[in-house]
Structures are given as structure tokens and as C-alpha cells.
Structure 1
Amino acid sequence: MRIVFLEIQNFRGIHSLVWAPAPGMNCLNGPRDSTKTTILDAIELCLNPRSYIFADDCDFYDLNVKKEIRITVTLAGLPSSFKTEDRYGLHLRGWDQAEMKIIDEPGAGLEEALSITVVIDQSLEARWSIQNDRIDASESDSPTVRYKDAKQLATNRLGPFAERHLGWGRTSVLTRIGEAGEGFSLQLAEAGRAARTSFKAGDQGVFKKAVDRAEELSKLFAVPVRGKFTAELDVQGVSITSGGISLHDGNLPLRRLGTGSARLLVSALQHDAGPPHIAIIDEIEHGLEPHRVARLLKYLKTPKSNEDGGQPQIFATTHSPVVIRELTAADIFAVRSTSGITTVASVAATAKDINTAQQHLRGTPEAFLARKVLVGEGRTEQGFARGLDEWWQTSDFDSFALQSVVAIDGGGKDKAPLVAEHLRDLGYEVLLVLDSDEAPNPDALKRAEEKGTIVHQWPGECSTEERLFLDLPWNGVRDMIKLAVTFVGQDSVMAVMDRALSAADLPTVTDAKLGAERDTPAVRRILGKVAKDKSWFKDITRGEQLAAIIGPCMAEIAETPLALGIYAMRGWVDGR
């Protein structure tokens, strides 16, 4: 079975959510409290009917208990036993995979599906039922899921306390694996008898005084004594049950494993136990090193080795760039919540160019964990933004991290607008910083702007490097050249500047140096073009170091296009 459609109303931070999950991995990511875990909790609540529910007023959206909680999960891939008329055959619906929507009655070309709803009202009582439009119209009591069938619906949740699955407790994975086996009860009974025999062979003298006094008082008050009072072990009193049996490595209980090791082992056991089913893992990276996270993800996505050979449907959350990097675009879903309206968008389905999307998942996974993304045309712009972040922090501005901002390399003038458009489709706030010396992809840029991307291009048909050389004070220009010397060497820097100046019939640096008298627009533009063409600063680290030169000069160049662009960037970071 798999979930094909999920509807949530008025549950915790979710006022409304409608989502059609993928059949395999569904890894949810989103900044801060975007209701990722609430989605997992809703699925678990709906598919695990129980006779009790620990709900309280805080489980209602906006604490409004007058608006009932309603969660509906629609399942496809049903076992044949569920489709018979004496079970749920009369209540089936149709799932249109192509249109990603539910048709109330099954039909040709549709996959048979079953919708299960849980409703919690202000009495805090949960009611589970089967739901479709026909049942709603009949005004009769909604049918419910049988207890025996509910066990097949139940999800597997790997939480922070994975060690409970390393024993033979009532709901543990080891118990489920061994359900077909026999001898549990006999083994426990024999253990009880052995415990009684061992206890009886011990020193009974420690109990003699109390036992004798109890027997005397029994006779005194006419309570019959059939034989002689003794102290024996009451096996029921010490509760020898299957929950007391646990997996051991030699004499060491595996319950004592570290958090990561326990989660890995239990994940493997759950993946291998029984037919493919629905698994829930909150913060999948919890307790695991990067290489173990990678191994776990690969294992979970591998079809099962049993006879069914299917892949379980997995719902997970993550805050780890390692997880984002290891998964494919089809596995990752961006969650956004605005005024209670939660949306879940597929990274793959919203991508115009799946290869570009995958490239950025691998190269800049941290961008998919932020709320705002600054997309630079290239590495210079990315490094420049990161350097400004460092400088702003020394000036008492909020950091990018505090504002949930990440700067990334857009991959060039044509790819960067595509990346920005894709991120907007996923719900991110996006600032696109571009050069103006070469025109970017016009169609992609137009689409990105129409979808809400804020675009900043340096005026004057120039690159970032040229804009810096045009607007910085002359001392700042000289500092940039000194910085270039540290990167590529003095001989190289001097040679390319001399050639460019000589070609423009201007005195070379070797002959005339770069004193204040050389401060002309023509010299500035030539130096800026050389810096761009020779890639002096086309590197993240080099771009970062540029900001250390620019920051102290901002008051002096406040009215220049460079400063105005930087102020606009800061305003976007702060949400102004």
C-alpha cells in the first residue's frame, strides 16, 4: 500500500494542506517551523486507529477547538482482501495518476483506492472512518476500518527511541519478523519455572521470621492452612514477558548501542520485515555521520529482497545538506507554510532543467534548507555576497544565517535565471544578482521576474568586477590590484595591465605607476575589464575578500551604483 493523496485541515500549524506524495522517497525540507513534522504526525495519526488519543487544545490550528481537526489519507495498492464486497469493495474510490486527483468512484483507467479519515472535535475524541462522497451523501454512519485490517495500515515510525525495536515487545519490529514462528509462550513459561526452581534452591532462612509469623496469625484468625507457608517466586509478579527479551551481542544488550547505530540497525530491520509499507522517519540524519547517512539512504531506496520485491513509501524530514546531496531531485520536496496554508512542492516536478536542479542539489544543498536564496551569476557574486555578510556582521547587522539566507553560484548568465525560477517555484524568496555586460537568457529571466524573483543587474553594461573598479575610491582600486597580486602574482598582474593600457594608447603601469593622477574613467574601465577577462576574482574565497575592501568605503561612495546595489541587497536580506 502507498499514500496517493493527503488532506489535512486545522491540525497544529496546518490550516490546510493538499498533497499527492511520490510512491517512493518523500524527503521534506523547509526552513524553521514549516510544519514538516506535523505532516508526519498527521499521517501516523490517521493510519494508526486506536482506542485512545492524547489530543489537547494545542493540536487545533490557532487553538480554535470549534473547528475540528480532519485528516484524510487516500491509499492505493490495496491488498485484494480489502477489495471484496464484505470488506471495503463498496467504498472504493478511483485514483487518476496522470491527473493526480481522486475520482469518487472507481472506473476504467483508474487505480482502486480507499480513503480513511480521522476527525477530532472539541471533545478531544478521535473518530476514524472510511470516507467518500457517496457515504457523505447517504447521511448514515460512516463505516470504520476493522481492527485486524488496521494492523496492515499501521505505519512504521523510526523515532529517537529506536532501541525499543531491539527487543521482543508487543509492537517491535523483531516481534513482527517472528510472528510466523512458534514457541514464544512455551519458552517464557519454561523460563518462569526455572526461575521458581532456582529461587526455591536459595537461602530460605532470610524469609523464615516473616513466613512463620504469617502462618501463626493465619491459624489465630481461622484462615485455613493447607500445608506449610513458604516464600516462593510468583512469576506473574516479576512479569516475565516477551518485552523482557532483547537482542544481545554476546552478553551486551543491543539496547545499549549508540543512537546512530541503533537507528541504522532498526531501519534495516524495518525495511526487511514484512511487505513493503509506509515508513516515517523524522530527522533522518539524527545521530549519524555523513557516510552512515549515505548508506542508510541508499539502503532505504533499494527494493526489498523478499518475495514482494517492492519499495516502501518513505516520509522523512531533514535539516542536513548531506541528506539533500545524497538524494535525487525526485526524492526531495520543499515545504512552505504561509498563514496556515502549507504547500509541498517537488524539486523534480518544478524544474525546467532537471540536470541543473540535480547539479545544485549536489553542489549547494544548503540552499534548499534556507528561506531566502541569493543567486549570484557566478562564483564572484557568490563570494562577494558571502564577504558582505561577514562585513555586515561587524557593523551590527543580522547575519545571513539569522535571516535564513544562503548565497549560491548560479552557474552563469543563462543558467542562473533558470535556477532562480526553479527556486521561486519551490517557494523560496530569491534575489538574482547579474552582470550587465552580456545579456542573460531573456525568456528565463522574464519568467523568473514574473514569478517574483528580485533581479539586480549592475547598470552601465558592466560585470561585477568592472562595477567595483568604476565606483570604488582610487585607494580601493589600488587595494583590489594588490589583492589580485596575492592571488595570481605580481608579474602576471603587471603584464596584463600594461598590455591593456598600451592597446588603448595609455601609459603603462610599469612606466607611470597608478598614482592619483591616473584616476580616470577610461583607466578604471580598462582595469575592470582586465580583472574580469583574467578571472582575478572568479573564486568564492577571492570574492569574499573583496568585501573587506568595499565595506570601509561605503560611506564615501554612498551615491554610486555599486553602493545603491549593495544597499538594495541588504534591504532584501532584511525583508525591506
Structure 2
Amino acid sequence: MEWHPAAGLNLILGGGDVGKTSILDAIALLFSPSNSSFVPDTDYYGRQEEDGFIIDAVISLPDDSKINGLLKAAWPWDWDGKKPVVPSIDGDGAAAHNEPVYWLQVTGTPELDLVYEVKQPDGTSENMPLGLRRQLGPVRLSSDDRNDRDLRFVQGSALDRLLADKTLRSRLSSKLAETNVVDALSNDSKDALSALSGAFAVKSLPTCLDLSITGAPGISVMALIGLTAQGSGVQLPLSSWGAGTRRLAALAIAEQTQGATPITLVDEIERGLEPYRQRALIGKLGSSKAQAFVTTHSAAAISAASNSTLWYVDYNGKIGKLEGAKVAQQRVKDPEAFLSRLAVVCEGVTEVGFASTLLLGALGTPLEQAGIRIVDGGGHETTLGLLEALAEGGLSFGGFADDEDGKHPTRWKKLEERLGKLLFRWPSGCLEENIIKLIPETSLEALIQDPAGEKTGRRLRSLQERLGSDSKEFAVLNEKAGANLRQLIIEAATGIVPVGKESERKHYESHSQDWFKSLSGGQELAKKLFAMNLWPSLKDQLLPFANAVRKGVVLPEIMDITL
């Protein structure tokens, strides 16, 4: 994966288990302010330790950074806008830097070790010391309880980096060693300790046993020291306060140690925070000088992040930028589209109802449970624009649209090449037309029947008005329309204005609302597609789309759909 994040706040969105947290983990590992004794095999792709892994970052650093204090000088690279390049030398011999940057790298070896290096323009590498990583170490709020660690005096924690008292451990350990633990024992316990000392002497082991507070490898006495704060007149450990307070406290501590190149990582910003606190934190991160990387599943956080750059991680693990006016409108209208594993943008509300019902049959489980979001694109033009904006980021979204008299063939063709079978479009015409034209003559009356019983009369009346009939009885309408009944139904269902009735345009266009121009109408069409045994006629067109959606949520292909 290669990523060029923006300055300021980067909001990373996407469905569950697509890799959002892994991105933050990679950044945190590269700038880790402590030396890990080992790296787990789960950090290796496919748990194949023999393949190793490499994490690189190209960053700019201030002139007074510790990278200039390495045993061997670390030389900057030039940044050409896309990648680091070897600095050029002009005719006068002076270095001509565009924007000096440094190339940092951590390698996970097959032996489960970590190697930190600074890559030099001459092809060599220098060790990246812990001191430099401590200077660059990001402020991090993970989705686990790591923030509790930052409230304690653990080596490398935010509190440890803030206080930076290198001799405190030895001084405190000496004081703790002076504590007379034996005096606190009961008489029976003292006798037992004395008997143990005698037993040691018999076996030629060290004697004069005593008890003292000691540390051990991997167990630090200092970790017992943590921040406390007063609550309701009582001094309480900060680690015992609410999750939201602990996270914000850890962030406040870490901010005190940020240098001139601050980096902030927040995983699941909504964890433990009420919506108003989410909005406040998003606002703070968006206005700070830090380059922040935030993951979220919160619509409130997305709505509040007006000054952020939105990134989406799709089900293939690709990350792409969400930008443009169309995306901005969708973020306000339906932010959950960017919190799903796979979003399918439909042309209108009828298509939303139809596609939802079809995919429910294809998956056999609620769409929300599978991480699928069906989105109302709000019309042909806006749907095309939104899908184009999403595709520009190299992301995989689904689409379901009509063919509006062959409009924008070049633009749609590019989208079809990009999205493949995830984009479904009728070869010609609209959804209602493609379904109704398959209905047998003998089933047209059943098509008119509204399962809820509310719209049947209004549908018959819309046909009555278009025919100029005195009756709205189906038999009368059928006889009067003759061979044109099917076309008449299509015109009423799509809101076509009869010739000579332009002055009553709104009235005739509203007829579509009595037919299928609604969420329930789209669902009704999908159900009648199967109930009237029309599915075999459309299976070859619709099944590939359904299977592409199934693939997007890691489900195998199916041979058929039943509803």
C-alpha cells in the first residue's frame, strides 16, 4: 500500500475489518517511543514471518530535530511531490532542494526482530535511535486500553515522556527497598519466614532472608505509579474514571510533549465519548498544528469534520480520497454510506427498494449485518457524479441505475470499466419499464394490485384519466385501452405527461407516486418479479451484479436467487 496523506486532520472511514486500524498501527510502530522486545507473528502478512515486512515514511523535520545529532549525518532527500528523489546540484555547486524530507524505515525480520533505519540518498542506511523516535513519537489513543498505560509511569508512556526524569526510577527503587515489610507481617508469618531461612541454611542457600519491594524483568514497580485526581473531594486514580475522560486525559498529557512535528493517532474516536465530546475533539484536532490520523464509525464525527480530508478504505484494502461537492453532499445526507463495508449507490428511491429486496434474497441475511449500505443517489445526474467522485479515489462502490435516453455514454462507459459487475445499468429504459414489459397480458391486473391495498384505486384512476374513461373498473379500462394497456401503465408508472396535457404536467407526473416511485414501490416490483416468475428472463442480467456484491462482503458466488 502507498498513501499520500494530507496535512491536518485525516479521517479514515470504511467498514469493519478492512484495515483502518492496521494503518494507524503501522504509523505507531514506525515511530514507537520504546524498544519492543519482539514483534508478534500476527504483524506479518498471512503470518508468514519468512517474508518479513517493511514500513516506510517520508517526512519533513525541523532544523533542530535530533536527526541532525546522529553519529553519522542523515542527509535529506528532495520531494518532487510524489516521491523522494536524490538532491540535485546546480552549476554553482550549491544544493538545490525543493522540499527537504527524510526517509525513515522499520523492517520486521524473519526472526521477529525490528530494525529501525534512516535511508540515505547515497543508498546507505543509518540506525534510527530511540531518542529520535521519542521526539517523533505520536500522540496515540487506540481503541483498546492503551490510554490507561499512558496515565501510568510505564517506560515510553506519555506520562514518562512528559516528566522525563531519568533518575526517578533509581531514586524511588532505593526508597522502596528501605521499606520494612517484615514489620508489617503477623507473628505467624514472621515465624514462617524465620523457618524458611533455617531451611535455606541447611541446604547451603543464602540466609538472613527479608522481604523488600523489588522489580523484575518485564514487571516495573514504577508502573504502579499513576496520576490521581480529585473527584467529589476524594483523590482517585485517573485510571478509575470513565473511558472518555481517560482518553481525553491521555491526549492532554501527550500534547505537552509534542515537538515541532506533532503526529496524532486516534482509533475509533467515538469510543467512550458522547457526540458533543466527539464534535469538540474533532474540532480541536482539525484546528491544531498536528497531522492527525483518525478512524471512526460515528456519523456525528464525520459531520463535524468539515476541515478534514476524508479517506475511505474499501473491501479490497485500498485507500482513496473522498473529495468533491458530490461527496460533501452525501457526507451530510447519508454519512453511513462511508461507514459500510460496501455501499451501493442507486439512482433513486425506487431503485433503492428494488436493489435492497433483490440483495436480501441474494445474501439471505439483513444487508446491515453484512456491512452493505444501499444509498439513494437522488437522480440520474447526481448518481453519476457521486459514483465518478468515488471512483476517482480508486475505490470499489456499487451502482444501480437506469439508461436515461443514452445520456453521458462516455462517462458511464468509464465507470463500467472501473467498477465492472458492481455497476448495474439497464441496457435501455428504466426499472419500471424493464419489469412491466415482461408482465404477461393475463397478469396486468395483478400488477396493478397494491399488496397493501392502499394504491390500487389510485392506480386505476390514473389510467382512467389518461384514457378519458367514465369508469375505473379494470375490465372497462382494459377494453378501452386494448393493445395499448401495457404502454399506458408504463406511462402512468413513470409519470409521462400525455400529449396536449402540458398545462397539467405536475398532476400527471405525480401519478408515478401512486405506482412504484417510492421505497415500497421498488420492493413491490422486486417481489412481483419473482412471484410472477419473471426472474428467469432477467437472471443473466441481475445475478452477476448480486454476486459482485456478495464478493464484496467475502461471500461465495451463488447460482440462483429465490425470494
Question: If the TM-score is normalised by the length of the shorter chain, which range does it land in?
Answer: 0.7 to 0.9
Counterpart Cα distance in 1 of 2:105 and 2:25: 14
TM-score by length of 2: 0.75
Instruction: Measure, in 2, the Cα distance between the counterparts of 1:240 and 1:64.
Output: 36
User: In 2, distance between residues paired with 1:219 and 1:124?
Assistant: 44
Measure the CA separation in 2 of the matches of 1:423 and 1:365.
14
Partner of residue 486, structure 1: 454
1:37 maps to 2:21 = yes
Q: CA deviation at 1:358?
A: 1.3
2:152–2:159 CA contact under 8 A, matched in 1:
yes
Structure 1 distance, partners of 2:228, 2:418, is 55
CA shift digits 1:25-47 (9 cap, x unpaired): 23334455544333323222222
Shift of 1:378: 1.2
Distance 2:405 2:132 in 1: 64
Matches within 5 A, 1:19-38: 19-31=3-15, 33-38=17-22
Change in CA separation of 1:477 and 1:186 when aligned onto 2, cut-off 3 Å = farther
- Partners of 1:219 and 1:557 in 2: how far apart? 90
Contact 1:501 1:508 (8 Å CA) reproduced: no
Paired amino acid for 2:487? R
Tell me what 2:283 maps to: 298
Kept in 2, the 8 Å contact 1:188–1:242? The answer is no
Q: Is the 8 A contact 1:366 1:406 kept in 2?
A: yes
The Cα RMSD (Å) is 4.5
Q: Would you say the 8 A contact 2:268–2:294 is kept in 1?
A: yes
The answer to whether the Cα contact below 8 Å between 2:15 and 2:315 also exists between their aligned partners in 1 is no
Say if 2:382 is the partner of 1:415.
yes
Q: Secondary structure at the match of 2:7?
A: coil
Pick the aligned partner of 2:135 from 114, 129, 152: 152
Give the superposition deviation at 1:128: 1.6
Residue 432 of structure 1 is matched in structure 2 by: 399
Match of 1:247 among 228, 231, 236: 228
Report matched runs for 1:41-440 at 5 Å.
41-48=25-32, 51-55=35-39, 57-82=41-66, 84=68, 90-96=74-80, 99-105=81-87, 108=96, 110-136=98-124, 142-159=125-142, 160-161=144-145, 162-179=147-164, 234=212, 241=222, 243-248=224-229, 249=231, 250-271=234-255, 273-275=257-259, 277-288=262-273, 290-303=275-288, 310=289, 312-319=290-297, 323-328=301-306, 331-335=309-313, 343-348=318-323, 354-370=324-340, 372-392=342-362, 397=364, 400=367, 405-440=372-407
Distance 2:171 2:460 in 1: 89
Structure 1 counterpart of 2:337, one-letter code:
A
> After alignment, is 284-293 or 121-130 more displaced?
284-293
Between the aligned partners of 1:458 and 1:148, the Cα distance in structure 2 is 61
The AA in structure 1 aligned to 2:546 is R
Aligned position for 1:497: 463
Distance in 2, matches of 1:426 and 1:218, equals 72
Deviation at 1:175, TM superposition (A): 4.2
Question: Displacement of 1:385 after TM fit?
Answer: 1.0
| Deviations 1:330-357, CA, capped at 9 Å, x for gaps | 522233586xxx6432122xxxxx1101
For the Cα contact (< 8 Å) 1:498–1:508, is it kept in 2?
yes
Quick one: which of 489, 493, 496 aligns to 1:531?
493
Distance 2:296 2:166 in 1: 37
The C-alpha deviation readout for 1:520-555, integer Å capped at 9, x for no partner, is: 5522222232233224143334433443333322x2
Distance in 2 of aligned mates of 1:85 and 1:185: 27
The C-alpha deviation readout for 1:7-64, integer Å capped at 9, x for no partner, is xxxxxxxxxx222222222333445554433332322222227554423555444555
- Distance change in 2, residues 1:237/1:94 (3 Å): closer
Question: Which amino acid in the other structure matches residue 464 of structure 2?
Answer: D
- Post-superposition shift, 1:269? 4.1
Contact preservation (8 Å) 2:117, 2:127: yes
Please give the TM-score of this superposition, normalised by the length of structure 1: 0.73
Question: Where does residue 418 of structure 2 map in the other structure?
Answer: 451
Q: Distance in 2 between matches of 1:284 and 1:481?
A: 49
Q: In the TM superposition, what whole-angstrom CA distance separates every residue of 1:399-442 from its partner, at most 9, and x where no partner exists?
A: 64576543222221112122222333334444433333544344
Q: 1:295 to 1:547 in 2, by over 3 A?
A: farther
Distance change >3 Å, CA 418–CA 205, structure 1 → 2: same
Q: Which runs of 5+ in 2 are unaligned?
A: 89-94, 495-508, 552-556, 558-563
Give 1:94 deviation, angstroms: 1.9
How far the C-alpha of 1:242 sits from its partner, in A, is 6.8
- How much has 1:478 moved relative to structure 2? 4.2
Deviation at 1:180, TM superposition (A): 8.8
**Do 1:120 and 1:126's aligned partners in 2 also have CA atoms closer than 8 Å?**
yes
Give the 4+ runs in structure 1 shifted more than 6 A: 85-88, 180-193, 210-220, 237-240
Quick check: 1:336–1:427 contact (8 Å CA) kept in 2? no
Residue-by-residue CA offset, 1:204-236 (whole Å, 9 max, x unaligned): 86667568889999999xxxx9xxx9x998466
- 1:472 matched to 2:439: yes
Over 3 Å counting, the alpha-carbon distance change for 1:558 and 1:215 in structure 2 is closer
- Contact 1:429–1:453 (CA under 8 A) maintained in structure 2: no
- Seen in structure 2, the aligned counterparts of structure 1 residues 154 and 516 have a Cα distance that, compared at 3 Å, is same
CA distance in structure 2 between the aligned counterparts of 1:361 and 1:271, rounded to whole angstroms: 30
Aligned to 1:8: none
Shift in alpha-carbon separation, 1:432–1:128, aligned structure 2, 3 A: closer
Structure 1 distance, partners of 2:449, 2:476, is 10
The separation in 2 between residues aligned to 1:208 and 1:572, in whole angstroms, is 74
1:549 aligns with 528
Secondary structure of the 2:412 match is helix
Q: CA deviation at 1:381?
A: 0.7
User: Closer, same or farther in 2 for the Cα pair 1:344/1:419, shift >3 Å?
Assistant: same
> Contact 2:78–2:99 (CA<8 Å) still a contact in 1?
yes
What SS is found at the alignment partner of 1:80?
Answer: coil
Asked whether the equivalents of residues 35 and 130 of structure 2 are also in contact (C-alpha less than 8 Å), the reply is no
Offset, 1:133: 3.1
Q: CA deviation at 1:134?
A: 0.6
The one-letter amino acid paired with 1:255 is S
Could you say if the C-alpha distance between residues 467 and 131 of structure 1 is closer, same or farther in structure 2, counting changes exceeding 3 Å? same
User: How far apart are the structure 2 equivalents of 1:183 and 1:85?
Assistant: 26
Letter of the structure 2 residue corresponding to residue 497 of structure 1? L
Letter in 1 for 2:115: R
Distance 1:271 1:117 in 2: 25
